Amino acid sequence: MEKILFLAYTQDDGLLPKAALETLNAAIDLASKLQAPLSLGLIGDNVQAAADAIAGCGAQEFFAVEGPDFASSRYASDAAAAEALARRAGATLVLAPSVSRFARSLPGAALRLDGRIETHVCALDPGGDSLSIQRWYYRQRMIATLTRSQRPWFLLIDPGVFKPWEGQQGQATVDKVTVALPENARRTRFVGFEAPAADAQTIRPEAELLFVAGAGWTKKQADGQPHVKEAEKLIHDFITKAKASLGSSKSLVDQTCEGGEVISLLSHLNQVGQTGATPRHPKGLATCCHGEEPHTVGWRFINERRAVNLDGSCGWAIGKADVLYVADAFQVMAKVNELLGD
């Protein structure tokens, strides 16, 4: 019989991030379908508040590796903590959210336990009593179904796939697992965060809406002139008012290294598509973007798609958007910003 361990880190407020609550839901569902016991393994400075917040999740055991050594990301201590928790729980399946801290450290823990690991898992199918998982390859163009006999099997679950767990708080009894870190595991020290100013942060994975800007924003308009500064203000105002995440076409972000006037809000991190990101948002609005296949392949996980383009026969018109507004995006977005008010 499988034994399932859910692993998570506490964030700065002592609670679990949304991605962890999503993985918790996946772990609970899997445990019930496999009729397997579920344990939780929490890592952080002090995990009691996080454990209490999910006390009603039905797990049989709560384990923790706690203390200042485990408060922040560091490969040596993170891998040691995950290894100790998996050993203590006797886990055959370990589910953790696919966040950078686990993506870096869990492969090491899997190796030490002679286990195997899958990254970017987006579906779990218990199908009887053997588990198979799914993940995408080649920029979300091919989906693979995998199964393994080797245990423990570590699964990094992609954020945005499962609904976050919601349920009763309570008082969890947490069994502390001691990890004696050798001095050389403390060589790397966490100094602090360097975060961009809040309004410079344009990539917002939790946003309801993905707003995509295409190269048309910097092209010559009806008056024969480009209006890049006006475009930048319209885009900035919209994503600020709508709290939208900002995506871009490749053509637009490539302009940053081609000279000429550019939209300063954008970097290659904003690029959506085959050679960019494949974000997950309930809605998407593309503006001044042609909707070519290498771009729209990055929209695979956008549920409702709309586009504004002057060209009624652009790529969005051939079934890639639910609604295409054949209109001038400068005029449309100015009006939308006005309607959104302050």
Ligand X SMILES: Cc1cc2nc3c(=O)[nH]c(=O)nc-3n(C[C@H](O)[C@H](O)[C@H](O)COP(=O)(O)OP(=O)(O)OC[C@H]3O[C@@H](n4cnc5c(N)ncnc54)[C@H](O)[C@@H]3O)c2cc1C
Site of interaction with ligand X (CB under 6 A): 214-216, 219, 221, 249-252, 271-276, 288-290, 292, 294-295, 298, 308-311, 314, 328-330
Which residue, 41 or 273, has its beta carbon nearer to ligand X? 273
Residue type for 209, please? Answer: L
Cβ 337 to ligand X shortest distance, Å: 15
Q: Which residues on neighbouring strands pair with residue 66, listed in sequence order? A: 44
Is the separation of the CB atoms in 209 and 312 below 8 Å? no
Which residue, 192 or 260, has its beta carbon nearer to ligand X? 260
Which residue, 41 or 276, has its beta carbon nearer to ligand X? 276
| N residues, the chain | 342
Cβ 293 to ligand X shortest distance, Å: 7
Q: For residue 2, how far is the Cα from the chain centroid? A: 27
Name the DSSP class of 12: T
Alpha helices in the chain (DSSP H): 18-34, 48-53, 75-89, 100-112, 228-242, 250-254, 293-296, 329-340
Which residue, 19 or 289, has its beta carbon nearer to ligand X? 289
Cβ 290 to ligand X shortest distance, Å: 3
Which residue, 23 or 270, has its beta carbon nearer to ligand X? 270
Cβ 284 to ligand X shortest distance, Å: 13
Q: How many CB atoms lie within 10 A of CB 82?
A: 29
Cβ 199 to ligand X shortest distance, Å: 24
State both tokens at 177: 């697992």
Please say whether the dihedral angle defined by the alpha carbons of residues 10, 14, 15 and 19, taken in this order, is positive or negative: negative
